Structure 1
Amino acid sequence: MTPPRDIHQYLAEFDDIPGTRVFTAARARQGYHLNQFAMSLMKAENRERWKANERAYLDGWKLTEEQKQAVLDRDYNRLLDLGGNIYFMAKVFSTDGQSFLQAVSTMSGMSLEDYQAMMLAGGRSPTGLRSLKDKY
């Protein structure tokens, strides 16, 4: 009988996938308040308070300073690193008037047009760098 794998070791392996952030239980715990903030933007009155003074609105939430700065910078990749869930972060870019496509194209470092063309052609190629360990 094969001994069971350590779940933490198994989940840590996901961090080796270039350009991918898997939303694990650890990230969910880390980003709980960040994601709650984002979900608060579902209410019109909260969106108005947010638009009136973003920093003051963020200060009302139990976020780390790093999370607050990433929100203010609209650095969605950093937000995912800090526990944000892309579907919750969508509330932020929707409040900014951005579509999902517009926001995620900024995360790829590609122009909107290039990102859209890539996705319409089937997405990124599965060949190439598959592990951060292989990079060195």
Structure 2
Amino acid sequence: MSDIHQYLAEFDDIPGTRVYTAARARQGYHLNQFAMSLMKEQNRKRFHADESAYLDEWPITPEQKQAVLERDYNRLLDLGGNIYFLAKVFSSDGLSFVQAVSTMTGMSVDDYQAMMNAGGRSPEGVRSIRDGN
């Protein structure tokens, strides 16, 4: 493939995976900066006191704001969120990485943790959204 855009578009064909590309980084820059702000205790307190008002201080899109308020981590990844930055959001809610990520899989925490302890998801199954195989 000689076209970089065509090459990068192939990443969107991987089921259940969001590759953090430069385009996603640009799209999520302010969202990720918001998440990083939660490293400071005073910002966490302000955020949890009035989440909507705190988010209004950041130049994020209405869709990103709604996804934060709903704690829709899969949607946040689609909107440019980086999982390592988003970890600041769920840890400020008192969730561990395992607890938060299990919500992204539709699995219980125990089932998700057991799957990961057993080596993760099977490589068998759908490998292409477009081709369905």
TM-score tier (shorter): over 0.9
What is the deviation of 1:135?
2.3
Quick check: 1:66 aligned with 2:73? no
Structure-1-length-normalised TM-score: 0.95
Q: Percent identity?
A: 78
Match of 1:127 in 2: 124
Indicate the RMSD between aligned Cα atoms, in angstroms.
1.1
| Alpha-carbon separation, structure 2, partners of 1:14 and 1:23 | 9
- Cα distance between partner residues in 2 of 1:119 and 1:134: 27
CA apart distance, 1:13: 0.2
Runs of at least 5 residues in structure 2 that lack an aligned partner in the other structure: none
Kindly provide the amino acid, as one letter, of the partner of residue 19 in structure 2.
V
2:83 to 70, 82, 86: 86
> 1:134, CA displacement in angstroms?
2.2
- After superposition, give the CA deviation of every residue in 1:9-52 in whole Å (9 maximum; x if it has no partner): 11110000000000000000000000000000011110110010
Aligned length: 133
Amino acid at match of 1:26: A
The equivalent residue for 2:101 is: 104
Name stretches of at least 5 consecutive residues in structure 1 with no aligned partner. Answer: none
TM-score, with normalisation over the residues of structure 2? 0.97
